[in-house]
Copies of this chain bind each other. A is one copy, B any other.
């Protein structure tokens, strides 16, 4: 299969779905909606929604009418980027090559844009119209997967530990837990939500969860690598910012070579988890490989 054209096709499907669910900037809310839309449509690769779609399709499911579910992962991801970039947090002025939300709209509105996107994810998932297509039980499972992955025992908690660890030497176990929460949880949730949409049985759900955990791990390790190896232009954000903030990273703990080995091992484990899946899972397999080779 041609992964590049697969990703392009799915990405444009996700872009359209995001346009469909996003509020139009009208009336008194125009500025607020504009601020949310600025980051939501800032050229993200849509990795999480695509993973959700690919997981559902690996189980031979037609997602017609169910795409709003996949978009909610991008709402959560985008909110987390806006808040992470704030001066009080990572203080980044560039994201995907564009000025960050607070640079354009000011800090107050950036905080609220993040809050709005986070809340909208659950508005979309609890939409009664979606319920008629999906059934209330599945809808609730999706909400529980997403809120758990985004909450204190997931992404937010990981970010809190990350912020608290700045400038400190942290043990490997802490780093691993941090990664699992901060990046891994939402990526795993993406695949699990696809599994729910695809009516996965228990083994299939577990296999896809294992796949998700391992690509989540690979994703974070590669992020650390890119921060060391990439240039600002390639990254669309400031390179070397982790080191500047004395952040705990894989390269800082293990050196470059060992870090690369660990990323490769995580990719291999992700692919192994899908052993019992047929060729409809090829996109998932290719994505796992792609995570290691992106921008390298």
Contacts and interface: CB of A to CB of B under 8 A. Distances in A.
Contact of A160 (B112, B137, B144, B160): B112
Contacts of A31: 160, 164
Residue among A79, A88, A128 with the highest chain B CB neighbour number at 10 A: A88
Contacts of A107: 88
Interface stretch (A116-124, A248-256, A273-281): A116-124
**Protomer copies:** 2
A80 to B, nearest CB: 8
Interface residues of A, number: 55
B109 A33 contact: no
A199 B293 CA distance: 55
Interface stretch (A7-15, A150-158, A260-268, A283-291): A150-158
B147 A123 contact: yes
A280 to B, nearest CB: 29
B152 A33 contact: yes
A163 to B, nearest CB: 5
Contact of A122 (B89, B116, B131, B143): B143
B112 A115 contact: no
Contacts of A35: 160
A127 B123 CA distance: 17
Given A108-B163, A143-B122, A147-B126, A116 B157 contact: yes
A115 B151 CA distance: 8
Residue among A136, A152, A177 with the highest chain B CB neighbour number at 10 A: A152
Contacts of A137: 136
A190 interface: no
Contacts of A153: 23, 29
A72 B106 CA distance: 29
Interface of A: 23, 28-29, 31-33, 35-36, 79, 83, 86, 88-89, 106-109, 111-112, 114-116, 118-120, 122-123, 125-128, 131, 136-137, 139-140, 143-144, 146-148, 150-153, 156-157, 159-161, 163-164, 174, 177-178
